[in-house]
């Protein structure tokens, strides 16, 4: 992504306008794919030209005018055989008429987000679908963040959009009685987008930080539309806390810096202030949830910027509540680490042993890194060394790999030269 502010502003305006138009047209013709297709060329042109020529006064109107030829072509090609295309043409005419009267079209992106995160859409496709329809990200970019091939991702997205049209998945904000439940699906998807491409969303490489920026953008959009939903505010607060530490996660040489060793002056104070304000607002809703708890944990760590020590027992209490709610092995590991800071490494090891009954942890890098850290603190360098080596063999991030290599070396002997997992005995004797 370009760092030039003018380019970023133009890109943002193009994506805002594109998303609004796709949502407006799709809500009226029921066919997301048709709406996207109608706007595709105009959007590409906008992304090319606006950074140089400047953003037009009404971005949506500009896009619609630029898309007109495509509309005409499409309608002619389809010979109006399909009612969806008639409705698409009608919707485009409605939008055009609104612009001519000097009005803005309604922002219906939230309705489209709810359709993309509908329970009838496969869970793992909800975030990719939102990123594509609302922000116009291409399948290749989404595929790389979700570790799949562009062809596969593209095919699955097409199929999901076809399902929205064929099964008439409604493009609307759900009624109050279903809203809370359906919002969970939306927030889950946004968090998945935030986490995509990070092996650990709370502490990974700032340069390959996946889709964090896009996810924060989307969370702001949802928070603005559902300002009274505490979990929405909690999710945005969590994202901002994590993002605030982006630069501090690397030292001058690009090496990974764990949270406890980070320099708080390198945290983004404005982002943390905003996160804290959001969390306070969420708390007034008196409905605690997963994202508020996660944000509260990040908030507890953030007091270091005022020179205070984090309240370790409060952090463990938040993790207890989170574990009771999610029963997630990842939460169990983080809780074990927090417990270790409060009661010592043996407490951490006991908690990790209890969590290890979940077979997925055998190939989960943070589990082995947590275990290694606790073992090192109990004064067991041999076992720590083995655990660091297992973590090393499972990491995908070069900076984390360097960090783990250094730790493994500190605990005893050089790690294997090719960084691949091998039996510890072999290279310890070698």
Partner 1 sequence: MQYLLLCYVDDEKRSYNLSGDEGRALYGSYVAYRQALQDAGVFVGSNALQAVSTATQVRVSDGKTTVLDGPYPDTKEQLGGYFLIEAPDLDSALAWAARCPAATEGTVEVRPIMPTPVSV
Binding site for partner 1 (CB under 8 A): 81-82, 118, 120, 166-170, 174, 178
Residue 99 CB, shortest distance to partner 1, in Å, is 29
Residue 156 CB, shortest distance to partner 1, in Å, is 19
Residue 206 CB, shortest distance to partner 1, in Å, is 41
How many Å from the N-terminal Cα to the C-terminal Cα in the chain?
A: 44
Question: To which residue do tokens 């603005």 refer?
Answer: 224
Distance CA 200, CA 29 (A): 40
Residue nearer to partner 1 on the CB measure, 168 or 426 = 168
Residue nearer to partner 1 on the CB measure, 79 or 101 = 79
Residue 178 CB, shortest distance to partner 1, in Å, is 8
Question: Both tokens of residue 288?
Answer: 């605690």
Nearby residues of 248 by Cβ (< 8 Å), 6 or more positions away: 257, 262, 263, 264, 266, 267
Asked if 133 and 111 count as a contact pair (C-beta separation under 8 A), the reply is no
Residue 172 CB, shortest distance to partner 1, in Å, is 9
Asked if 291 and 278 count as a contact pair (C-beta separation under 8 A), the reply is no
Residue nearer to partner 1 on the CB measure, 171 or 331 = 171
Residue nearer to partner 1 on the CB measure, 174 or 285 = 174
Closest CA to 173 of 225, 220, 232: 225
Q: Directed axis angle between helix 32-53 and helix 150-166, to 10°?
A: 120
Residues 113-150 as b or e (16 or more Cβ within 10 Å = b): bbbbbbeebeeebbbbbbbbbbbbbebebbbbbbebee
Residue nearer to partner 1 on the CB measure, 133 or 405 = 133
Residue 108 CB, shortest distance to partner 1, in Å, is 15
Residue nearer to partner 1 on the CB measure, 82 or 358 = 82
Residue 94 CB, shortest distance to partner 1, in Å, is 21
Residue 27 CB, shortest distance to partner 1, in Å, is 12
- Number of Cβ within 10 Å of residue 256's Cβ equals 20
Residue nearer to partner 1 on the CB measure, 68 or 77 = 77
Distance CA 191, CA 194 (A): 5
Residue nearer to partner 1 on the CB measure, 55 or 171 = 171
Asked if 242 and 300 count as a contact pair (C-beta separation under 8 A), the reply is no
């Amino acid at each position: 992504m370009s760092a030039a502010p003018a380019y970023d502003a133009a890109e943002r305006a193009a994506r805002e306008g594109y998303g609004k138009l796709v949502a407006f047209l799709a809500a009226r013709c029921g066919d997301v794919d048709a709406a996207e297709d109608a706007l595709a060329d105009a959007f590409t042109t906008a992304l090319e030209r606006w950074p140089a020529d400047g953003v037009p006064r009404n971005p949506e109107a500009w896009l619609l005018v630029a898309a007109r030829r495509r509309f005409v072509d499409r309608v002619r090609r389809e010979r109006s055989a399909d009612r969806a295309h008639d409705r698409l043409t009608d919707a485009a005419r409605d939008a055009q008429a609104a612009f001519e009267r000097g009005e803005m079209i309604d922002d219906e992106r939230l309705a489209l987000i709810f359709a993309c995160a509908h329970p009838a859409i496969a869970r793992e496709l909800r975030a990719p679908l939102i990123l594509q329809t609302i922000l116009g990200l291409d399948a290749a970019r989404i595929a790389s963040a979700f570790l799949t091939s562009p062809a596969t991702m593209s095919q699955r997205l097409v199929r999901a959009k076809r399902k929205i049209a064929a099964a008439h998945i409604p493009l609307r904000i759900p009624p109050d009685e279903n809203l809370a439940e359906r919002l969970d699906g939306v927030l889950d998807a946004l968090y998945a987008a935030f986490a995509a491409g990070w092996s650990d969303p709370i502490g990974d490489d700032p340069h390959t930080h996946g889709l964090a920026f896009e996810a924060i953008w989307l969370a702001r959009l949802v928070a603005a539309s559902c300002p009274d939903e505490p979990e929405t505010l909690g999710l945005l607060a969590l994202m901002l806390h994590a993002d605030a530490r982006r630069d501090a996660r690397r030292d001058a040489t690009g090496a990974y810096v764990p949270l406890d060793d980070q320099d708080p002056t390198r945290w983004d104070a404005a982002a943390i202030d905003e996160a804290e304000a959001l969390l306070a607002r969420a708390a007034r809703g008196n409905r605690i949830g997963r994202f508020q708890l996660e944000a509260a944990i990040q908030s507890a760590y953030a007091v270091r910027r005022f020179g205070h020590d984090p309240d370790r027992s409060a952090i463990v209490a938040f993790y207890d509540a989170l574990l009771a709610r999610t029963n997630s092995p990842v939460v169990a590991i983080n809780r074990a680490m927090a417990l270790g800071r409060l009661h010592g490494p043996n407490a951490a090891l006991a908690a990790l042993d209890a969590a290890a009954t979940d077979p997925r942890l055998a190939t989960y890098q943070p589990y082995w890194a947590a275990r290694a850290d606790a073992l090192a603190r109990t004064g067991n360098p041999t076992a720590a060394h083995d655990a660091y080596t297992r973590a090393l063999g499972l990491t995908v991030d070069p900076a984390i790999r360097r960090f783990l290599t250094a730790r493994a070396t500190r605990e005893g002997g050089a790690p294997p030269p090719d960084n691949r997992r091998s039996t510890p005995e072999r290279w310890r004797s070698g």
